[in-house]
Amino acid sequence: MINTNQVSIIVLRPKCAKGKSFALNAEGYLLPCCWTDPLRKLKPNYDGNMDGMDDLFKEELKIENVDTIEDIILSTEWLDFFNGLTKGTSVPKICMKYCSDDKGTREVEVHD
């Protein structure tokens, strides 16, 4: 049996991978951009999930704990984050919200 489904077409254009400035938050962490600041941790119903960015907020990656910014952006944690983001294999919701374009929908055939 063949069915037709509507599929969203979303194009991800990560600004942080295209030269947008990094951000520094009040806790001393370098961030891919200002939108990734974990303000949601202040919400009463915060469950501890940083939506795939948890590794960017390790104590050893704080500005005060490194010698240079390169120590942070060339860390395994940051490289893994950017690889997942640019390949589309691990994209946090906040990145989809601010760095994607909805290009509409298209029909696809689904074979059962």
Q: What is the pLDDT of residues 19-55, one digit of tens each?
A: 778 999 988 999 998 888 876 566 667 666 667 788 8
pLDDT for the residue numbered 89: 85
Strands of the chain, DSSP E: 2-12, 23-24, 30-31, 100-111
pLDDT for the residue numbered 105: 52
pLDDT for the residue numbered 110: 62
Residue 86: pLDDT over 80: yes
Q: Supply the pTM of this predicted model.
A: 0.72
> Beta 100-111 vs 2-12: how paired, if at all?
antiparallel
